[in-house]
Amino acid sequence: MDMISIIEDKKQGRALTKEQIEFFADGAARHTIPDYQLAALLMAIRLNSMDARETADLTMAMAASGDMLSPDVGGVPVDKHSTGGVGDTTTLVLAPLVAACGGKVLKMSGRGLGHTGGTVDKLESIPGMVVDLPEDKFLQIVRTVGCAVAGKSAQLAPADKTLYALRDVTATVDSIPLIVSSILSKKFAAGAKAIVLDVKTGSGALMPTLEDSITLAKAMVDIGAHAGRSIVAVVSGMEEPLGSHVGNALEVKEAIDILAGRVEGPLKTVSLFLGSQMLIASGLAKDELQAQAMLKEALVSGRGLQKFKEMIAAQGGDGRVCDDVGLLPKAPVIRPMLAREEGYLAHVNGTALGLAAQRMGAGRIEKDDVIDPSVGFVMEKRIGDFIRKGDVVCILHARDEASAQAAEDRIAAALTLSPCPAPKARLLYALVTPQGVSHLSE
């Protein structure tokens, strides 16, 4: 068996055998196949896709390419994963909240991918924070604190680590089989028994259409059922940044502000809905009403923020950031961006906003780029708002004035104003379970 024939088969649109899939997954994990051949195969998969059987085989082959954990954490190990978005900081809000309600959240996260931010990159903006944890330390923190968020262990799904980095720089991010196998291989290897997926849809999502997002959600739920794991998927909106803050330290600040009760808005709303699904999946709440009440009590009492502080400290970070967000990295240039015209904000190109943050240094253009944790921007306007000329549209946090000006131009180009009133962006679309798709009303 050789990679040339595997690439040729997929190039011609033929289904790969289980043996072929295991061969290239093993080669990716062991670095016995050159990156250029793996990149060629990724593009062939992106163009010709994979059927359900191939996707399931790829998921299991990637999961089995390294260690497979069976963690004893004193409860049902639950995980949440987002397909990626802009200003999507739900993990940093809901992980400590669910832990404060008795949940055991073991979250292995990735770094930024394409125009979307990475939870691990965000956490690393906290002084001293360690995200590369040995497996035993990771599980110990989950047992004692109730939650831990770390980068994927090199021993877990190593095939995914190789392919994930290549997808980010080869324009193969938006492939349903590659997304499904990447997400679920890590979850299965890490030992999560209950998994809640946040599948984004809209201009800032990997899957911009609702139809594609539901297709992706169903594919992951179906593979979970096949593997004996409890998986539900929430399809949520990404027509604009979920939170107002875009950038690593800025997003940590917003998560802390929510946990401290200082901020309301879409990020909090979606975090509470996802958290409620995690409590139900963990067997800690019988329905959404009870779960929401538990989460809100943890929020109001301050127990959620305290859990976040405990998690940060357990992972070597400076927990004082929960009391003083001024300890987070600050950009040298902080200034407002003023509106150049007036009208209702009718449309936001979320991908363009994510790329604007990436170009500022908040994300990677090449896989070895070093992220600047301090840069990004804070949106002051949302879809549906009326903007007058000269209003503050956002606050730029940049390395220098040239970077700030370039970001301002990109952000301005990403916003569409209309003389007619525009409806607010929708947050929640559907809940996908093994029993089917339930459309959500707001």
- Active site members: 81, 160, 167, 182, 186
Rounded to whole angstroms, the Cα distance separating 26 from 15 reads: 18
Are 79 and 99 in contact, with CB atoms under 8 Å apart?
Answer: no
Name the phi and psi angles at 82, rounded to 5. Answer: -105, 145
Closest CA to 202 of 43, 315, 354, 75: 354
| SS3 state at 311 | helix
Rounded to whole angstroms, the Cα distance separating 92 from 89 reads: 6
In our burial notation (b when 16+ CB lie closer than 10 A, e otherwise), range 354-378 reads: bbbbbebbbbbeeeeeebbbbbbbb
75's CB contacts (< 8 A; 6+ apart) are 102, 103, 104, 282
C-alpha radius of gyration, the chain, whole number:
21
| SS3 state at 276 | helix
Please, is 1 exposed, middle or buried when counting C-beta atoms within 10 Å of its C-beta (0-12, 13-18, 19+)? Answer: exposed
H/E stretch holding 136:
helix 135-145
Rounded to whole angstroms, the Cα distance separating 223 from 62 reads: 14
| SS3 state at 405 | helix
392 DSSP β-pair partners = 338
H/E stretch holding 417:
strand 415-418
149 DSSP β-pair partners = 107
Closest CA to 412 of 359, 365, 356: 356
Q: Which amino acid is at 230?
A: S
